[in-house]
């Protein structure tokens, strides 16, 4: 049956309040199958009956679920190509449409989400909000026309925090924490836990004067979760061993300020938000170096490996659950689902009193 939502109607505020097709059938005085045909505009149902059913549905606040319609179509036809009606949109905002692929974390989010979507019976189609030929209003209309009602919002580029897309008639889940507006559910790495875990492992390696190097714009983007985790973890050492974070506005400023900051606070280990060897290795070889963004467990860089694969999977699962409940639009109480990473040993942090062999 047809599954295009009405711009004038809105879904019930609570899943428990959702009106069923059976209730519409009871109000109209016909069978549930006849209601399905009437709402689809089937010619076998008299015009007067179709109007009576539409009036009953509108009065009760009934709203068809496009996801169920698409999946039922697949079951009825047995045609695997019909699954295209149950696609999800992967919405990017980078000016150069493919530039998001240069970020390894974003590529892994997308790969995991695509794989998970296929396992759940969906395809994941990429759309760009930065395409000059595709204004947000036109893109929304295109998605509706193609029966796509679930949107996975990719991390926003740079310092952007607003997703320029009207989410009113879509179920939306954001990857990462970058989207602040509109209010949507998000799935991200547990940065707070990661900073604490990195600090604890530094202590276990014998380091005592441990610093954090983090750009302010990145900290703001992550809602200061790395910084907060570091500040809490510092409570495990004496006040004389605590140091303020090195937090210039941008990451490009860190290399120039790094060594004076290390010497001033007599640090024996530094936790970096990034993982660029050329920047990290500027530190004295006696200083242990740890990254909060280790991509591969190669044994070179010590630190936290985020579980991008699970983030992508969880985001798709949450999006499909929202579609099943026809939970669209902004969230009154948006959820942030956090996925914990894991510690990876590496030569860059061999232990207190030992010169590192990695990142020299």
Which 8-state DSSP code applies to residue 287? S
What is the chain's alpha carbon radius of gyration, rounded to the nearest angstrom?
Answer: 26
CA distance 50 to 34: 9
Of residues 184, 143, 172, 171, the one with CA closest to residue 325: 171
Tell me: do 208 and 300 sit in the same domain: yes
Q: Residue 5 pLDDT more than 60? A: no
Tell me: do 211 and 287 sit in the same domain: yes
Q: Residue 78 pLDDT more than 80? A: no
CA distance 288 to 346: 10
Tell me: do 286 and 249 sit in the same domain: yes
Q: CATH no. for residue 145?
A: 3.40.50.2300
Residue 360 belongs to some domain of the structure: no
Q: Residue 315 pLDDT more than 90? A: yes
Domain end residue (candidates: 283, 306, 329): 306
Tell me: do 156 and 232 sit in the same domain: no
CA distance 343 to 339: 14
* pLDDT of res. 348: 95
**Structural domains of the chain, count:** 2
**Tens digits of residue pLDDT in 17-70:** 567 778 888 888 888 778 777 776 777 888 888 889 888 888 887 766 555 555
Q: What is the mean pLDDT of residues 304-320?
A: 96
Q: Residue 88 pLDDT more than 80? A: yes
Domain end residue (candidates: 286, 306, 326): 306
CA distance 294 to 120: 29
Range of the domain at 110: 80-182+309-339
> Order of strands, edge to edge, in the sheet holding 302-305?
210-213, 269-272, 288-294, 302-305, 342-344
Tell me: do 322 and 301 sit in the same domain: no
Q: What percentage of the chain exceeds 90 in pLDDT?
A: 59
Tell me: do 174 and 259 sit in the same domain: no
CA distance 200 to 203: 5
**Tens digits of residue pLDDT in 237-269:** 999 999 999 999 999 999 999 999 999 999 999
Tell me: do 244 and 289 sit in the same domain: yes
* pLDDT of res. 32: 77
CA distance 147 to 250: 42
Instruction: Say which residues have a Cβ less than 8 Å from residue 152's Cβ, sequence separation at least 6.
Output: 88, 89, 90, 91, 113, 124, 172, 173, 174, 175, 315, 316, 319
If phi > 0 it is left, if psi is from -120 to 50 it is alpha, else beta; for residue 271 that is: beta
* pLDDT of res. 70: 52
Q: Chain-wide mean pLDDT for the chain?
A: 86
Tell me: do 135 and 228 sit in the same domain: no
Q: Residue 276 pLDDT more than 90? A: no
Q: Residue 193 pLDDT more than 60? A: yes
Q: Residue 277 pLDDT more than 90? A: no
Tell me: do 279 and 295 sit in the same domain: yes
CA distance 170 to 154: 15
* pLDDT of res. 8: 37
CA distance 253 to 247: 9
Structure tokens at 340: 């914990």
Tell me: do 198 and 260 sit in the same domain: yes
**Tens digits of residue pLDDT in 327-338:** 999 999 999 999
Residue 94 belongs to some domain of the structure: yes
* pLDDT of res. 65: 58
CA distance 290 to 303: 5
Structure tokens at 55: 């009036």
Tell me: do 160 and 267 sit in the same domain: no
Q: What pLDDT band is residue 206 in, cutting at 50, 70 and 90? A: very high
Strand segments, DSSP code E, in 55-147 are 87-92, 123-128
Q: What pLDDT band is residue 86 in, cutting at 50, 70 and 90? A: confident
CA distance 313 to 290: 27
Tell me: do 130 and 155 sit in the same domain: yes
């Amino acid at each position: 049956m047809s599954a295009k939502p009405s711009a004038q109607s809105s879904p019930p505020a609570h899943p428990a309040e959702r009106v069923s097709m059976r209730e519409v059938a009871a109000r109209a005085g016909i069978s549930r199958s006849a209601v399905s045909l009437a709402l689809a505009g089937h010619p076998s149902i008299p015009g007067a009956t179709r109007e009576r059913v539409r009036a009953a549905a509108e009065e009760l606040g009934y709203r068809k679920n496009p996801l169920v319609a698409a999946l039922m179509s697949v079951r009825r036809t047995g045609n695997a190509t019909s699954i295209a009606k149950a696609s999800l949109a992967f919405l990017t905002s980078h000016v150069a449409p493919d530039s998001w692929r240069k970020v390894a974390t974003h590529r892994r989010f997308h790969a995991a989400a695509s794989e998970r979507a296929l396992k759940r019976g969906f395809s994941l189609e990429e759309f760009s909000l930065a395409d000059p030929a595709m204004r947000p209003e036109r893109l929304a209309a295109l998605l509706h026309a193609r029966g796509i009602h679930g949107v996975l919002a990719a991390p926003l580029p740079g310092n952007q925090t607003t997703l320029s897309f009207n989410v009113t008639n879509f179920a939306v889940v954001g990857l990462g924490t970058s989207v602040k507006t509109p209010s949507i559910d998000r799935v991200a790495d547990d940065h707070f836990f990661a900073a604490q875990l990195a600090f604890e492992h530094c202590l276990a390696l014998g380091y005592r004067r441990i610093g954090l190097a983090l750009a302010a714009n990145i900290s703001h983007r992550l809602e200061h979760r790395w910084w907060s985790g570091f500040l809490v973890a510092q409570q495990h050492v004496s006040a004389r061993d605590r140091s303020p974070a090195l937090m210039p506005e941008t990451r490009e400023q860190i290399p120039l300020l790094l060594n004076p900051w290390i010497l001033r606070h007599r640090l024996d280990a530094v936790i970096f938000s990034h993982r660029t060897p050329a920047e990290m290795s500027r530190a004295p070889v006696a200083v242990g170096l740890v990254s909060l963004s280790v991509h591969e467990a190669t044994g070179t860089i010590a630190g936290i490996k985020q579980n991008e694969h699970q983030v992508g999977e969880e985001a798709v699962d949450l999006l499909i659950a929202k579609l099943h409940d026809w939970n669209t639009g902004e969230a009154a109480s948006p959820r942030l689902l956090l996925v914990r990473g894991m510690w990876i040993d590496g030569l860059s942090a061999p232990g207190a009193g030992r010169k590192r062999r990695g990142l020299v």
